[in-house]
Amino acid sequence: MQVRNEPWKPLIVAFCCNWCSYAGADLAGTNRLNYPADVKIIRVPCSCRVNPLFILRAFQRGADGVIVCGCHPGDCHYTSGNYYARRRMTLLFSMLDYLGIEKGRTRVEWVSAAEGQKFAETMNSFVETIVSLGENKRLEDLRCKTE
């Protein structure tokens, strides 16, 4: 762990379901659609695998934004996973907002395997939002930043 002395760059964690959104991200790559390198993707089988703990953990460790991507409602590979994810994330985001965490640091977006364009656009706009919000200070655990 090091003291950060470079200029701030946003750190964004994107959870992508294996069947739609991860494939959408692949398609963005195949089509050479640019989005900032600040986005780091974690592959999960389904958006319903994303535990709110993972999101809180990411913020704790210094992530500035977390985005969860899944299949469009009705298209889930496991039929209902994204519906559960939708409720879970809605409630979690609402709670974070209630605690005064800036809105916009969390997002859910449905991206299909055919929507490489949408994936890149989503990431570009999300990074833009996070840049405008600035560094995540409210949820990060300072001990993770310094020795």
Partner 1 sequence: MQRIGVFVCWCGSNIAGTVDVKKVAQTLGREPGVVFSADYQYMCSQSGQDLIKDSIKQYKLTGAVICSCSPRMHENTFRKAAAAAGLNPYMVEIANIREQVSWIHKDMAAGTEKAIILGRAAIAKVHLNAPLIAGESPVTKRALVIGGGIAGIQTALDIADAGFPVDIVEKSPTIGGKMAQLDKTFPTLDCAACILTPKMVEAAQHENVRILAYSEVAEVKGFVGNFTVKIRRKARYVKEDVCTGCGLCTEKCPQKKAPDEFNLGLSNRRAIYIPFAQAVPKVATIDPDYCMMLKTGKCGVCSKVCGVKAIDYTQKDEFIEENYGAIVAATGFEPIGLDKFDEFAYSLSPDVVTSLEYERLMNAAGPTGGTLLRPSDLKHPHTIVFVQCVGSRCDEKSEKGVPYCSKVCCMYTAKHAMLTREKYPDTEVYVFYIDVRTPGKNFDEFYRRAVEQYDVHYIKGMVGKVVPENGKLKVQASDLLENRQLHIDADMVVLAAAIEPDKSARPLATMLTASMDTNDFFTEAHPKLRPVESPTAGVFLAGMCQGPKDIPETVSQASACAAKVIGLLNKDRLVGNPCVAHSDELMCNGCSQCANVCPYGAITYADKEFRMPDRTTAVRRVAQVNPAVCQGCGACTVTCPSGAMDLFGFSNNQIMAEVDAICK
Partner 2 sequence: MQDRMIARAKELLENGTVDRVMGWKKGEFIYDVTPAVFYTADELEKDFVMNAFTAANVSKYLIAETKKPGRILAFLKPCDSYSFRQLMNEHRVDRDNVYIVGIPSWGKADMEKIRALGITGITDITEKDGDLLVTTVMRETHAVKKYDVYLEKCKNCKSKRIVVYDELLDGENGEDVPNNRFDEVAKIEAMPPDERFAFWRGELSRCIRCNACRNVCPACSCEKCVFDNPKSGVENKAPADDFEENLFHIIRAYHVAGRCTDCGECSRVCPQHIPLHLLNRKFIKDMNELYGDYQAGETEQVRHPVTNYRDDDAEPGIVYTRGGSGR
Please enumerate, as own/partner, the contacts of 22-27 that have beta carbons within 8 Å and a separation of 24 or more: 23/113, 24/69, 24/111, 24/112, 24/113, 24/114, 24/115, 24/116, 24/118, 24/119, 25/69, 25/111, 25/116, 25/119, 26/116, 27/113, 27/114, 27/115, 27/116, 27/119
Both tokens assigned to 102:
């800036």
- Binding-site partner at residue 30 among partner 1, partner 2, none, CB < 5 to 8 Å by type: partner 1
Q: In the window 1-40, what residues touch partner 1 (CB under 8 A)?
A: 1, 11, 13, 18, 22-23, 25-26, 28-30, 32-35, 37, 40
Nearest approach in angstroms of CB 38 to partner 2 is 22
Output 57 or 133, the one with its CB closest to partner 1. 57
* 134: contact with partner 2 by CB under 8 A: no
* Partner whose footprint covers residue 130, from partner 2, partner 1, none (CB < 5 to 8 Å by kind): none
Residue 117, H or E segment: helix 116-133
Interface residues with partner 1 (CB under 8 A) are 1, 11, 13, 18, 22-23, 25-26, 28-30, 32-35, 37, 40-46, 48-54, 57-58, 61-63, 74, 77-81, 84, 88, 120, 144
